[in-house]
Amino acid sequence: MSHVTCIELIAFLDSYVDDELDAETRHSFDLHLLVCPSCRAYLATYRETIELVRGTAEQEEELAHDSPAELIEAMKRVKR
């Protein structure tokens, strides 16, 4: 697989981003991204979306960690 198409790249993009590809395939993807602005743009958007989803999941975990009672106590302490 020395030349990948846009369709192939997009089909394996999650594996590429997660670093699950073998070195040769990854290299082919890197080469394609060098010459294909539309795939670079797609990859950038894809990464942004992942960051966004991961960020949201972390925020939800933090909220779940703080029980409402603890939150109320913390607010009372701030007021004093």
4 is an interface residue for Zn ion by CB under 5 A: no
Rank residues 13 and 36 by Cβ distance to Zn ion and give the closer one. 36
Is residue 21 a contact partner of residue 29, using CB atoms and an 8 Å limit?
Answer: yes
39 is an interface residue for Zn ion by CB under 5 A: yes
Buried b or exposed e, range 8-43, using 16+ CB within 10 angstroms:
ebbebbeebeeeeeeeebeebbeebbeebeebeebb
Q: Residue 38 CB, nearest distance to Zn ion (Å)?
A: 6
Q: Residue 42 CB, nearest distance to Zn ion (Å)?
A: 8
31 is an interface residue for Zn ion by CB under 5 A: no
Rank residues 3 and 80 by Cβ distance to Zn ion and give the closer one. 3
Dihedral of the alpha carbons of 26, 16, 29, 35, in degrees to the nearest 10:
-140
Binding site for Zn ion (CB under 5 A): 6, 36, 39
